[in-house]
Structure 1
Amino acid sequence: MPPRQSPAQKLAAKLLLGGEWAPVTNKIGFVKRPVDQAAVEWRKWVQRSNFQTRDGIGVTEHQGTLTELLSKLLPLGYGTRWLLLETANPEWTAVVENTTGDAHFQYVLRHHLSEVRKIPTIEVQDEPKNMKRLPDEMARGRWGGRNLTVYDEAGFRRSLSLYHSEPWKFHHGGEPYDFEDVEQYSAPRALDCFPHETLVHICRNLGLDPFEEDFYVPNGRAFIVELLHDGKRSGGKKYTLAEARAGHDDISVPAVDDPVIGNALYPSGSGNPNPDAIFPSTGFESYARPTPWDRAVKEFEECLKRYSSYPVRASFSDGLEDLGIIALPSLSSGGTGSTDISVMASATLLESPLAIREYTAAFMILQWRQADDSSAFRSFYPNRKQMAVIRRIYKEQGLYPFDAGSNEVYFNLAVDKMIRSVTELRLTKELVDWEASQPAPSTAEAAARANRSCAWDIRMHIQEREDEIWNPELDDRA
């Protein structure tokens, strides 16, 4: 009798190549252009992106089976290399990345290709949840998730997202297509709202079959677009597929933090050392349509720079309000190992008083570990004794149990404390009154985020009583 399969193994069997090329194939992008045109568009984006290398951008055409072409992405986790695959639908080109985790090409698809170039794009992600908690070491596996995001010539069109937030949650936005079963999205269990079969059904109606091997490279054609590095500047960690999967997609073996085989096999950091053509980097140029908030974005960016030890960039996003978010940061490392922080800002934030933008800027930046190794998590995340005091204060205010995840509550308080330790900023009544004056959430997703446990009023109350929490009797950190 064959061994019983876990839900993660059953799902993996339905994915592209049975999930054997995860994490590379966990997220696949699609560009509505034939492969030759898509390769040109992608190369032009890389030339003006914030991924910059002195050796330029290489473009190489390849022939082979899907598995052979995927191997051209090796090593994983070093620099940035994209594989553009011809598909059985000649209107669409598939894109995957040499990632060891989550691919980060959604910015290209959503903002550059869709918003600026008016090229329709689709993102498809399906990742099994196989997280395994272990008693004496870090947990292994991935949290899993399922997403579909569609942009057409007019911009954002449709999104469906199933994500693990202990428990699973489901969200969809945009206008449903006629072929969707919208009643399914009201199922009591989030997992039943957006199963794998529904993702397949929608994709097929859009002209895609992302999980079928024969949908790709019917003529064996593909392009690699990559950042070029000489051997002296290839200091990033380089993983084989097995090393990248270890402890994450393959939880039967420990995670590989310091790869050995990948580094040995790819000393120069590239499996494609002689590209067909080399194009120079042309300097970063933001791909964004003019908006009424462009000046406010620049002013907010100056606020961010005051608190960052890394290069920072601000941008406007008109979709954050629907999610109940006023700003969203991300940290990335480019092919040269450089680190930068990007922050998307909502119109609500950009139109807010200066004090709001200033405190938000500090919060967006100081939640990351800085170049001087300062870290809110390491310096101020509360221990168990401190957590008990925080819970007591929340109980006194009638706010316990938390209406948000406890980790989110404690982390927000740690960042607040970090801000007070390195700046002159404080949470004030002005900030609290502004937050209270905001209109009621307009979407279910925004309403779900509007919790009092992380609101500025309770955090200001914690600030006023911080000596009860961050003191030598409870915390022996230096």
Structure 2
Amino acid sequence: MLTILDEEFAPTTSCAVFVNAPLERITTFETERERTRLERNKDRPERERIHGPATVAVEPLNSDLAELLGRLDPLDMGPEATMELLAETGGGRWTALFDSSAADPAVDRAVGVLAEQLGTRGVVAAWRPHPAGTEAEEVDADGQYLDEDALGGAGVTGFAITDPSAGPPDFYLRQLHAEYAYDQWEFTDDGEYLDFEDPAAYELQRIPDRLTPERVVAYCRALGIDPFNAQFYGPRAVLLRRPAEPFDRVPRNRWP
């Protein structure tokens, strides 16, 4: 299965967000947005005690993707990611976003806000391999895993595009997901087909085959994005550190 750097930096790399704007523009927007949010809480002592003064640290970086992703360690266990990585990509058209959340990367939720505020498109590419060790004979004709005890997590493959024209609440123009949830595979197909899609694949019997990582790559490449190619990212990047006291943190090598 295609992954970023062979899953060495999972779960950080289980979801990547790309915004169609230069690194400098997104850095300025994200920094000002964070400062505004913190400024609103400056008169609330309990918030300042937790989050500290209304500042956000901006650290320019220049390195390969492995070293850049390593700067997000240790990971945050709480509801808020304390670090966000903005990485320039090949050609400079798209900027990639990753964060330090261990369980549920928040960057996919932020892409709609960025699309609206910056007046540009965003792309969300998600992939999480289904647990290894689940044999082919344990899958029925509909792609359902029969041995639930073998599951150590949930597989998902996703592709979505946000656009200001799509409107609130989330500004999703197109959304595709093949996800294992509640002991069964589910497929989401929202929005109009785009000219580079393969709609016939969405009729395949096995749900995991309808949206494979290979298909996500093909769709992303049609937009000028090469998500699984480590050379596509960097070397210029920015690390944003929010002045928040983490709920709890765990080194990446101790995360399941």
Q: Distance in 2 between matches of 1:178 and 1:33?
A: 23
Find the counterpart in structure 2 of residue 193 from structure 1.
210
**Distance apart, 1:105 and its partner CA:** 2.2
Aligned ranges for residues 332-351 of structure 1 at < 5 Å?
none
Specify the code of the residue in structure 2 equivalent to 1:148: F
Give the direction of change, closer, same or farther, for the CA distance of 1:226–1:235 in structure 2 (3 Å limit).
closer
Q: Distance in 1 between matches of 2:28 and 2:241?
A: 12
Contact 1:131 1:143 in 2 (8 A): no
Q: Normalising by structure 2, what TM-score?
A: 0.79
Secondary structure, in 3 states, of the residue corresponding to 2:12? coil
**Distance apart, 1:28 and its partner CA:** 0.7
- Bigger relative contact order (CA 8 A; separation at least 6): 2
Specify the code of the residue in structure 1 equivalent to 2:175: S
Counterpart of 1:162 (choices 164, 170, 178) is: 178
**Distance apart, 1:17 and its partner CA:** 0.2
Q: Distance in 1 between matches of 2:227 and 2:246?
A: 34
Find the counterpart in structure 2 of residue 42 from structure 1.
30
Specify the code of the residue in structure 1 equivalent to 2:52: R
Q: Normalising by structure 1, what TM-score?
A: 0.44
Count, aligned residues:
222
Q: Distance in 2 between matches of 1:161 and 1:194?
A: 7
Give the direction of change, closer, same or farther, for the CA distance of 1:45–1:132 in structure 2 (3 Å limit).
farther
Find the counterpart in structure 2 of residue 70 from structure 1.
69
Contact 1:27 1:102 in 2 (8 A): no
**Distance apart, 1:99 and its partner CA:** 1.6
Secondary structure, in 3 states, of the residue corresponding to 1:208? coil
Find the counterpart in structure 1 of residue 119 from structure 2.
118
Q: Distance in 1 between matches of 2:130 and 2:10?
A: 13
Contact 2:87 2:237 in 1 (8 A): yes
1:269-324 CA distance string (max 9 Å, x none): xxxxxxxxxxxxxxxxxxxxxxxxxxxxxxxxxxxxxxxxxxxxxxxxxxxxxxxx
**Distance apart, 1:107 and its partner CA:** 2.7
Counterpart of 1:102 (choices 101, 104, 107) is: 104
**Distance apart, 1:139 and its partner CA:** 8.0
1:16-43 CA distance string (max 9 Å, x none): 1011110000011111111111111222
Q: Which runs of 5+ in 2 are unaligned?
A: 42-46, 135-148, 167-171
Give the direction of change, closer, same or farther, for the CA distance of 1:188–1:243 in structure 2 (3 Å limit).
same
Give the direction of change, closer, same or farther, for the CA distance of 1:172–1:89 in structure 2 (3 Å limit).
farther
Specify the code of the residue in structure 1 equivalent to 2:6: G
More strand by share: 2
Q: Distance in 1 between matches of 2:178 and 2:37?
A: 30
Contact 1:86 1:92 in 2 (8 A): yes
**Are 2:19 and 1:28 equivalent residues in the alignment?**
no
Give the direction of change, closer, same or farther, for the CA distance of 1:148–1:48 in structure 2 (3 Å limit).
farther
Secondary structure, in 3 states, of the residue corresponding to 2:71? helix
Q: Which runs of 4+ in 1 moved over 4 A?
A: 49-52
**Distance apart, 1:116 and its partner CA:** 3.5
1:246-273 CA distance string (max 9 Å, x none): 3xxxxxxxxxxxxxxxxxxxxxxxxxxx
Q: Distance in 2 between matches of 1:235 and 1:90?
A: 32
Contact 1:121 1:150 in 2 (8 A): yes
**Distance apart, 1:162 and its partner CA:** 0.5
Specify the code of the residue in structure 1 equivalent to 2:58: V
Q: Distance in 2 between matches of 1:121 and 1:113?
A: 8
1:150-187 CA distance string (max 9 Å, x none): 01242332111111132212121111111211111111
**Distance apart, 1:72 and its partner CA:** 1.2
Q: Distance in 2 between matches of 1:26 and 1:193?
A: 19
Q: Distance in 1 between matches of 2:221 and 2:208?
A: 21
Contact 2:76 2:246 in 1 (8 A): no
Specify the code of the residue in structure 2 equivalent to 1:225: L
Aligned ranges for residues 67-466 of structure 1 at < 5 Å?
67-77=66-76, 79-110=81-112, 112-130=113-131, 141-155=152-166, 156-165=172-181, 166-217=183-234, 220-228=235-243, 234=245, 236-244=247-255, 246=256
For the pair shown, which has the larger CA radius of gyration, 1 or 2?
1
Q: Distance in 2 between matches of 1:239 and 1:139?
A: 25
Q: Distance in 2 between matches of 1:104 and 1:94?
A: 13
Specify the code of the residue in structure 1 equivalent to 2:71: K
1:429-448 CA distance string (max 9 Å, x none): xxxxxxxxxxxxxxxxxxxx
More helix by share: 1
Q: Distance in 1 between matches of 2:194 and 2:159?
A: 13
